[in-house]
Amino acid sequence: MRDDIKASIDRYANEGCPVGHFLTAVLENKLIESFAKADDDNIKDMFEIVNYCYWNIPSISWGSPQAVKDWLNMHEEKRQKSKK
């Protein structure tokens, strides 16, 4: 897996930072869309990317579009509260 992909996943998991279209599709568990949006490196690394998510990020943060939306919203609310 490329370093930039791992870093994006980690920022998403730790800080609730939005990711690009490819990783959003992966996190939302949209298999066909994931492959359609992946470049050649990410297609080759798809198993490693999904395996990394499975073992290294909170299970509530991914797996469906709603889980991703909720995760991003939760972190946005935290950021808003910390600004006050």
Q: How many residues does the chain have?
A: 84
Which residue in the block uniquely carries the two structure tokens 């299970």?
A: 59
Domain parsing of the chain, residue ranges: 3-83
Q: What is the mean pLDDT of each run of 10 residues along the chain (84 residues)?
A: 98 97 98 97 98 98 98 90 74
The residue type at 20: G
How many Cβ atoms sit within 10 Å of the Cβ of residue 61?
20
Q: Give the global pTM.
A: 0.91
Q: What is the pLDDT of residue 35?
A: 97
